[in-house]
Amino acid sequence: MCGIVGIISHKPVAGEIYDSLVHLQHRGQDAAGIMTYNKRMHKQKGLGYVRDIFNEDNMSLLTGNIGIGHTRYPTHGGFSHGEIQPFWTEIPYGVGLAHNGNLVNYQELAMEIQEKEKRYLNTQSDTEVLLHLFTNSLGKQRPPASPDEFFEHICEAAQAVFKRASGSFSVVAMIVGKGLVAFRDPHGIRPLVKGVRQNRDGTTDYIFSSETTMFYALNYEKARDVQPGEVIFVSDTGKAYSRILKDAEFTPCIFEYVYFSRPDTIMNDVSVYRARLRMGQNLALQWQKQHPGVLPDIVIPSPATANTAALSLAHELGVRYSEGLYKNPFIARTFIMPGQRERQKSVRYKLVPQELEIRGKKVMIVDDSIVRGNTSREIVKMVRDFGAREVYFVSACPPVRFPCFYGVDMPTKSELIAANKTLEEIRQFMNVDILLYQEIDGLVEAVTRKGQHHIDRPCLACLDGWYVTGDVDQEKMETIETQRINDRNGR
């Protein structure tokens, strides 16, 4: 999971791209990069948080009214400086590109590009493969006579990507002397939103981003989501073009609503905050059905993603909501840390139980999900250490039983507790009195109940094992899992 942003404006964009990446920091804390264009390409990138990478000196070098940015949470490729996006190539025109998602056929495409097309790939990143597919097709077109004709060339290049790439990909790209491009995979698995800003002189600025979180701060208004299979081009003269190139079942990732996205985001015309409120409502109904007459004394969230669901669950049960776990805001999100040792180490640094809220009480802990189970187990231990009489644990997400190959770091079944243990075994492992997972139907209903979203069905691959691209079999799964393990080990 990553965060991407592209802006084409009538004023310098570097500062706004920086601000956008700060708003997208929750989507990737491993690395970040910014690329702008003003007579030539300018780029700055580094490992770590956005605030630690960019400063007054290097930001001053990022001149130009068009640019793209990226915050990285690696699910594919290595962890070196060379893997940091945006990527760029000088042929044709000069193209910079940033990508959120994951290609399930990366290895086949990389082999084909290197062995059959005799091209050199400098990284292990699937973003470089996407860049090659796009620019290779674009470079075969005749010189365009107008922006209208160039848009036709862009459509052909995006179509080449849609034809050969399988998986999830939301893309922003800038082309020297031409403009800004955005496109989204035909299933719309990863998000991408378009915003506009009307200037006093009648001109229009455009932003494309993974989320709407920065729109208000930068005075943009949400225009709409980039549609699945759609390509949008904004020329350097400010004219906007769009076309849907491929129609497929619309299956956006449901984990965006469970965990990744900020609650103030409107994604696929669904409020993430309201979706999480409904998750809590449905959990309460499920609890009352399965455990009638059993009520906790307090409901506390595992902060902060679960706060919204816990708030509505407590309201439905008629139980006091309490922030019984204080979160240190300066510790990174544990789920997206690169290793289990780092995740476990950070839990006690990040969360501190409030004894007066816990001691002697029946405590219900609400979390957004249980993936590996170790963080949840550590939270339960802390609550018990601070004197809880009984501990119930409920998850707003159903059991995660399958790896995700569309951009979420769930790489091997061996790491997923629900893929290897029964419900009772998980309860014992976590040392809780009652364990409750949201049902799949309840989660889907919570996300799709409201909004003009046109979602055919959310992508539930990590929950039910159905991979929408249709090309993930056991052999493919083992191949990708091996590659992911090798990436982690630096091989």
Residues classed as catalytic: 2
H/E stretch holding 173 reads strand 167-175
Q: Which residues pair with 459 in a beta bridge?
A: 253
What does the longest C-alpha to C-alpha distance in the chain come to? Answer: 76
DSSP-derived secondary structure letter, 469? T
| Counts of helices then strands in the chain (DSSP H, E) | 17, 22
d(CA 257, CA 262): 9
Sign of the CA dihedral running 342, 345, 347, 351:
negative
Choose among 252, 214, 226, 124: nearest CA to 173.
226
d(CA 83, CA 75): 12
Contact 134, 161 (CB under 8 A): yes
Q: Which residues pair with 312 in a beta bridge?
A: none
For residue 258, give the 3-state DSSP assignment: helix
Choose among 24, 22, 18, 36: nearest CA to 209.
24
Contact 389, 362 (CB under 8 A): yes
Contact 224, 194 (CB under 8 A): yes
Q: Where are the alpha helices (DSSP H) in 188-230?
A: none
d(CA 260, CA 28): 10
d(CA 433, CA 392): 6
Work out whether strand 266-267 and strand 362-367 pair parallel, antiparallel, or are unpaired.
Answer: unpaired
For residue 240, give the 3-state DSSP assignment: strand
Choose among 236, 203, 209: nearest CA to 223.
209
Number of neighbouring beta carbons within 10 Å of residue 232: 25
For residue 419, give the 3-state DSSP assignment: helix
Contact 13, 197 (CB under 8 A): no
Contact 445, 431 (CB under 8 A): no
How far does the chain reach from its first CA to its final CA, in angstroms? Answer: 21
Contact 294, 433 (CB under 8 A): no
